[in-house]
Amino acid sequence: MNHLTRILVVDDDDRVRFILEGALQKLGDGYEIVTAGNGREALDKASQTHFDLLITDLRLPRSDGLALTSAFAKVSPDTKVVWITAYGCHRFADPARRLSVQQCLDKPLEIQEIRKAALEALGKHLEVVNDQ
């Protein structure tokens, strides 16, 4: 039986969540994309099911991406993490290393860039995905 790869996308902007969800769904049938609008909602979902990858914005209401990543490390230590931010990844290099974040991407994101980062974090290779 094939393992379904679960990806949790966390961003407080509905449009960003919608775009990322759509981009990641094009990875294929073996992926389930789940979204959350804040850290609390993300942790609630993580308590119900395991996620292979967490993609989170660093600026979130109630709980920022750093706090969410720390909490995830306790609840689900084998979940890979990719950060996205509009505030410059270079500012978060030290906490990213400390929290074993796979990658940090600066907004605005390119669709292929987020797919590539997700697959690299999961240890998979990017296949060409046609956006038509």
Which residue intervals of the chain are DSSP H helices?
14-25, 39-48, 65-75, 93-98, 111-121
Q: How many CB atoms lie within 10 A of CB 74?
A: 8
The pLDDT tens digits of the residues spanning 60-79 come to: 987 799 999 999 999 899 99
Model confidence over 109-120: pLDDT tens digits?
999 999 999 999
Q: CATH: 3.30.300.30, 3.40.50.2300, 3.40.50.970, 3.90.180.10. Which one for 5-121?
A: 3.40.50.2300
* Model confidence pTM above 0.85: yes
pLDDT in tens, 96-107: 999 999 999 999
Q: Taking a C-beta distance cutoff of 8 angstroms, is the pair 11, 56 a contact?
A: yes
Q: How far apart are CA 27 and CA 119, in angstroms?
A: 9
